């Protein structure tokens, strides 16, 4: 969404949505919250607060409701032997941005991430996926208009990747070169670029 303004009778097009400044607020990392509830729960709160969904290790379903998360956390506190670990992230249509990716630090079991229609995901966010380099096996990036070849090059550090699906990335100008580069660095990864 862009807005047209006139300054000194010259049109100016803003390329960020009107409430972009709120994205930083909702993606802010709270070290005290991480210490209080642990990395996975704090990460789940961040993801759900920004419209994403998480899959716990012992579940087949994705959770995207904050109230349900609160109940899940309360149940965990009642049974300290049950640990909550995020295994999957579906960030389709979410407002997550690179500012919040530090929430992934300490999450050791996330093996699937789906970034589809994420307006605030760009090259800097992809560089921060290195927090998941020891667990991430499958990654999907689609319809993220701010992702370029430079950002995709950061994926070379994700050496555990087994599957990488890329689609509709209009800022990527040379698909052939980037796929070749990724194949060199990630020879065991099946890469699909639609």
| Complete DSSP assignment for 49-93 | HTT-EEEETT-SS-B--HHHHHHHHHHHHH-TTPPP-EEEEE-TT
Structural element, H or E, at residue 148: none
CATH number of the domain located at residue range(s) 29-193 in this protein: 3.80.10.10
Q: Collapse the DSSP code of 28 into the 3-class scheme (helix H, G, I; strand E, B; otherwise coil) and give the result.
A: coil
Q: Which residues of 22-31 are buried (b: 16+ CB within 10 A; e: fewer)?
A: ebeeebeeee
Q: What is the pTM (predicted TM-score) of this model?
A: 0.85
State residue 71's pLDDT score. 76
User: Which mean pLDDT values do the consecutive 10-residue runs of the chain (194 residues) have?
Assistant: 44 48 72 93 95 90 86 62 84 96 97 97 97 98 97 97 97 95 97 94
What's CA 116's distance to the chain center, in Å? 9
Q: Collapse the DSSP code of 154 into the 3-class scheme (helix H, G, I; strand E, B; otherwise coil) and give the result.
A: helix
Supply angle C-alpha 109, 188, 62, rounded to 5: 30
State residue 2's pLDDT score. 41
For the chain, how far is it from start to end, CA to CA, in angstroms? 24
């Amino acid at each position: 969404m862009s807005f047209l303004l006139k300054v000194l009778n010259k049109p100016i097009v803003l390329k960020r949505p009107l409430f972009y400044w709120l994205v930083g607020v909702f993606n802010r990392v709270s070290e005290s919250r991480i210490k209080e509830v642990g990395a996975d729960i704090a990460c789940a709160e961040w993801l759900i607060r920004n419209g994403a969904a998480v899959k716990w290790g012992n579940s087949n379903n994705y959770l995207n409701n904050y109230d349900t998360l609160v109940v899940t956390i309360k149940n965990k506190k009642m049974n300290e032997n049950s640990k909550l670990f995020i295994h999957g992230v579906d960030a389709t249509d979410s407002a997550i941005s690179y500012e919040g990716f530090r929430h992934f630090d300490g999450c050791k079991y996330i093996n699937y991430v789906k970034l589809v229609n994420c307006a605030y995901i760009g090259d800097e966010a992809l560089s921060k996926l290195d927090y998941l380099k020891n667990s991430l096996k499958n990654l999907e990036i689609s319809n993220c208009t701010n992702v370029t070849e430079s950002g995709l090059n950061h994926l070379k550090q994700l050496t555990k990747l087994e599957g990488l699906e890329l689609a509709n990335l209009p800022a990527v100008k040379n698909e052939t070169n980037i796929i070749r580069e990724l194949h060199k660095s990630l020879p065991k990864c099946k890469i699909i670029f639609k």
